[in-house]
């Protein structure tokens, strides 16, 4: 991990009231480098020579999630995936049902959606979060499917 990133990670942790421990810095660094949400297993496997126990990764992610530093998403793979929270863009994911490939998209129009939902669900006072995933077929798998048919 380069020093700049490391310092950034230390700051993030301290601000949230966490100690800047080695396992936490490693997990944060891994998330910073990840292009798409990663699973606990991928994080553990990606630690290389510096091994972190799986339980520790669970606990770290649980804490970071509560602190609003990471978000958890469900791709219907029977496990959770995590990524750093992007405060600028409320982005979501589109997942290939064949190969699991993931891409981002923005524009879910959350404000309008929440307002519309609250108007219909009279028993609800507020909306605090949302989850949205699209499932589709990537170009590669799409071609393969046509050929196979």
- Which range touches a copy of itself (CB under 8 A), out of 18-26, 28-36, 63-71, 137-145? 137-145
- Candidate list 2, 3, 4, 22; residue touching DNA; CB under 7 A: 22
Partner whose binding site includes residue 23, from DNA, a copy of itself, none (CB under 5 to 8 Å by kind) = DNA
Q: What's the CA gap between 24 and 18, in Å, rounded?
A: 9
Measured from the CB atom, the residue of 9 and 96 that comes closer to a copy of itself is 96
Q: What's the CA gap between 107 and 101, in Å, rounded?
A: 20
- Candidate list 6, 23, 85, 127; residue touching DNA; CB under 7 A: 23
24 binds DNA (CB under 7 A): yes
- Candidate list 130, 147, 148, 149; residue touching a copy of itself; CB under 8 A: 130
Between the alpha carbon of residue 4 and those of residues 19, 64, 84, 85, the distances in Å are: 18, 20, 17, 19
Q: What's the CA gap between 67 and 1, in Å, rounded?
A: 23
Q: How far is the CB of 55 from DNA (least distance, A)?
A: 4
Q: What's the CA gap between 130 and 41, in Å, rounded?
A: 25
Q: What's the CA gap between 43 and 23, in Å, rounded?
A: 11
95 binds DNA (CB under 7 A): no
Q: How many whole angstroms from its chain centre is CA 96?
A: 16
User: 3-class DSSP state for residue 40?
Assistant: helix
Q: Which residues pair with 114 in a beta bridge?
A: none
14 binds a copy of itself (CB under 8 A): no
85 binds a copy of itself (CB under 8 A): no
Q: Which residues bind a copy of itself (CB under 8 A)?
A: 74, 76, 92, 94, 96-97, 101, 103-109, 113-114, 116-118, 120-139, 142-143
């Amino acid at each position: 991990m380069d020093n700049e990133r490391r310092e950034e990670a230390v700051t993030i942790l301290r601000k949230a009231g966490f100690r800047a421990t080695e396992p936490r810095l490693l997990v944060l660094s891994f998330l910073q480098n990840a292009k798409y949400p990663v699973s606990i297993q991928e994080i553990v496997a990606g630690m290389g020579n510096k091994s972190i126990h799986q339980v520790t990764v669970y606990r770290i992610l649980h804490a970071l999630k509560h602190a609003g530093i990471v978000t958890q998403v469900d791709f219907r793979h029977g496990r959770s995936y995590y990524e750093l929270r992007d405060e600028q863009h409320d982005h979501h994911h589109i997942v290939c049902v064949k190969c699991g490939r993931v891409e981002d998209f923005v524009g879910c129009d959350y404000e309008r959606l929440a307002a519309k939902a609250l108007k219909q669900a009279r028993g609800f006072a507020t909306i605090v979060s949302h989850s949205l995933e699209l499932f589709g077929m990537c170009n590669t798998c799409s071609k393969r499917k046509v050929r196979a048919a």
